Amino acid sequence: MTEEDAQNWIKTHFDVSRGTWERLEAFIAFLKNEAQRQNLVSAASLDHMWVRHIVDSAQLLRLYRPRHPPGLTLVQALVFRG
């Protein structure tokens, strides 16, 4: 799966608003920037964020049974999936 394939997978499986998409992109930019200071994700995966992290996490949402309030955004669910 390419990064473009991963982005298309997200768009196909989730109703992602433009604002949420922008927040996902901002989160990826933040993560890449912060990875220079902290070992948050593998350096080898930084060029494959959509495939290795976003889609991997989003797949869990398909099994997600809400215990959080309705309206939990995709970004919140991906970041706070504990």
Q: 1-18 pLDDT, tens per residue? A: 999 999 999 999 888 889
pLDDT of residue 26: 93
> pLDDT digit string (tens) for 37-69?
988 888 888 899 999 888 988 888 777 666 655
- In sequence order, the 6+-apart residues with CB closer than 8 A to the CB of 43 are 35
Cα radius of gyration (the chain) = 13
| pLDDT exceeds 70 at position 20 | yes
Contact 76, 18 (CB under 8 A): no
Q: Taking CA 45 as the corner, what is the angle to CA 10 and CA 49, rounded to the nearest 5 degrees?
A: 25
pLDDT at position 31 over 50: yes
Instruction: Assign 79 to helix, strand or coil.
Output: helix
